[in-house]
């Protein structure tokens, strides 16, 4: 007599989470999907560069920051720079 063969459990496939974009729109020249962001973990610096207008933005990053965080810091920097000044600000 032989033993009954046990049934294998089906392999559970994990759903892939939505991947974050690696190319972004340039806020300076308004072209689409031309900005690439890189993070240097050794220097703790983030770089965003537009391939069309060659604008480069540099910022400090933490260990958990990703490319989208560098891009968002660039957008925030540009938005703060473009705010109109009122008489109360001076």
Q: Is residue 35 part of a domain?
A: yes
Residue 5 lies in a domain: no
Which string of DSSP letters, residue by residue, matches 21-79? PSEE--TTT--SS-EEEEEETTTTEEEEEETTT--EEEEE--TT--HHHHHHHHHHHHH
| pLDDT reported for residue 75 | 95
Section 35-49 average pLDDT: 95
What confidence tens digit (pLDDT) does each residue in 60-89 have?
A: 999 999 999 999 999 999 998 876 665 555
pLDDT digits (tens, 9 = 90+) for 23-41: 999 999 999 999 999 999 9
Look at residue 42 and tell me whether its pLDDT is greater than 90: yes
Q: What is the pTM of this model?
A: 0.70
CATH number, domain of 44, equals 2.20.25.190
Domain count, the chain: 1
């Amino acid at each position: 007599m032989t033993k009954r063969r046990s049934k294998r459990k089906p392999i559970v496939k994990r759903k892939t989470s939505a991947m974050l974009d690696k190319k972004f729109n340039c806020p300076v020249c308004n072209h689409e999907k031309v900005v690439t962001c890189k993070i240097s973990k050794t220097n703790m610096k983030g770089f965003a560069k537009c391939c069309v207008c060659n604008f480069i933005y540099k910022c400090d990053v933490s260990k958990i920051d990703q490319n989208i965080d560098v891009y968002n810091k660039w957008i925030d920097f540009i938005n703060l720079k473009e705010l109109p000044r009122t008489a109360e600000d001076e």
